[in-house]
Amino acid sequence: MLFLTIAICIVLLILLISWAKCNTFISFIIVSLLGGLLLGMPLEKIPGAIQKGVGDTLGSLLMVILFGAMIGKMVAESGAAQRISDVLLKAFGEKKITWALVLTGFIVGIPLFYNVGFVLLVPLIFSIVYRLKLPAVYVGIPMLSALSVTHGLLPPHPSPAALVNQLHADMGKTLLYGICIAIPTITVAGPLFVTTLKKMDVEPLQTFKPKEIKEASLPGFFNSIITCLLPVFILLITTYFNLNKTSSTTPALIQFISDPSMLMFISMIYATVALGITRGNSIANIMHTYADSIKDVLMIILIVSGAGALKEVYVQSGVSAQLGDAFNQLQMPPLLLGWLISAIIRVAMGSATVAGLTTAGIIAPVVVATNTDPSLMVLAVGSGSLMLSHVNDSGFWLFKEYFNLSIRQTLKSWTIMETIVSIMGLLGVLIIDYLIK
């Protein structure tokens, strides 16, 4: 009965979002209400559980997501992304252009949320396509593979950051493991895989031909790259300090700057000064840019909070503990199980964020019961959430329409790339798990 109830909740969530076209946040609340009833929660307790789930989730993530959106918008609109792309292209040359694009996508993708990053980076891709007369898919896949990996595996992106919160993982450690997995994953899914697509020569729609910012108006390269990577630098430094500290107490300053909300706030302030004020931009214009950035992520915030509501219903109904006991009896390794559940929900539903967060509510008790490293579980679930993107995924259609491809061509390029990312991510997680045991 337990697994039947969970299956009913997941199927209903899929039908509400995919078939009924219901708003994802509203779908999560409906399923949370129904799940609470089916799991035997007292009727008067269900609203409180939902409110607690929403509040607890947003309490630790709201500032991370909002400040991240502001940094990403500033990086894009100031021309920092274009500057990084131009410098790397000159350094690598046309023969190694795919590696330059991978590095650009990885660096710029860290502060940019996926859908926002896609729309903002595609003009860079098309500028190279028109400038060097190269096939659009050959140019685009390497950069977008890097963007996909950062979206699915690396905090402070919303999905991995929310998974860190729900599974009680360490964000710095997750980022460190994630970077170790990201490098070989992007290499295989980007520059290596794209060599099979050289003959897929299509003409991108002229509508998306970019208007580049004049070079004289662009920020400096080091200024641009430091702004993009500052959150990563802070997390890695504080993680290194925590792993190598000689006493049981952590200095107050390290605790302060290692808090995800504070490190993103510090990074946002730096971006405001480095890419805004010092380049003659007024505070009023910068604040207008930040206001626009918030509109881009409001739905992501609602989705994350809705997933938190469903998780809290599982916790307060006692189903989480029962799930932990039940899954603990399985012979399947917990990390593989987390990846598989996430992959199944992703294929059925289309959304990587929803797949990852739904899986977290199911797999959280397994992490505790099996003493699994929560940071690795975050990465396993995140990898599964990228599996087999197809016609029910908005990213699939973004790629198809922007690159002017047929559905068959999109399946042969985009879908296979995302599947490679997912499988390589799982292999990386299992290898790290083996090495640290």
What pLDDT score does 115 carry?
63
Quick: pLDDT tens for 97-117: 888 888 888 877 776 667 666
pLDDT tens digit sequence for 382-392: 999 999 888 76
* Residues 360, 364: Cα–Cα separation, whole Å: 6
Task: Using pLDDT thresholds of 50, 70 and 90, give the confidence band for residue 435.
Answer: very high
Cα separations in angstroms, 67 against 53, 78, 157, 236, 268: 22, 16, 11, 19, 6
Confidence at 247, pLDDT banded by 50, 70, 90: low
* CA–CA separation, 28 and 175 (whole Å): 28
Phi, psi of 98 (to 5 degrees): -65, -35
State the burial class of residue 93 (Cβ atoms within 10 Å of its Cβ: 0-12, 13-18, 19+): exposed
**Mean pLDDT throughout 190-218?**
74
Q: Is the pLDDT of residue 68 over 70?
A: yes
pLDDT at 422 over 90: yes
H or E element, residue 235: helix 221-243
Does the structure show a pLDDT above 70 at 434? yes
| 82 or 339, higher pLDDT | 339
- Average pLDDT of the residues of the chain: 82
pLDDT tens per residue, range 117-153: 676 677 677 777 777 778 888 888 998 899 889 888 9
Q: Mapped to the 3 state alphabet, what secondary structure does 137-162 carry?
A: HHHHHHHHHHHHHHHHHCCCCHHHHH
- Provide the whole-model pTM: 0.72
- Tell me: pLDDT of 321 over 70: no
Q: How confident is the model at residue 207 (pLDDT cuts 50, 70, 90)?
A: low
State pLDDT tens for residues 265-306: 998 999 999 989 988 889 999 999 898 888 767 877 887 788
Work out how many domains the chain is built from and give that number. Answer: 1
Q: For residues 271 and 227, give the distance between their C-alpha atoms in angstroms, rounded to a whole number.
A: 6
- H or E stretch at 27: helix 24-38
Percent with pLDDT over 70 in the chain: 87
High-pLDDT (> 90) share of the chain, %: 21
55-64 confidence digits (pLDDT tens): 887 876 788 7
What is the structure's pLDDT at 320? Answer: 60
Would you say residue 96 has pLDDT above 70?
Answer: yes
Collapsed DSSP state (helix, strand, coil) of residue 393:
coil
Q: Which residue range(s) make up the domain with 289?
A: 2-436
pLDDT surpasses 80 at 206? no
Which of 35-39, 326-330, 430-434 has the highest mean predicted lDDT (pLDDT)?
Answer: 430-434
| Identity of the amino acid at 385 | S
Instruction: Using the structure block, give the residue that is written with the tokens 């609340």.
Output: 29
Average pLDDT over residues 148-164: 83
Any long-range contacts for 285-290 (C-beta under 8 Å, 24+ apart)?
286/74, 289/70, 289/73, 289/74, 289/77, 290/70, 290/73, 290/74
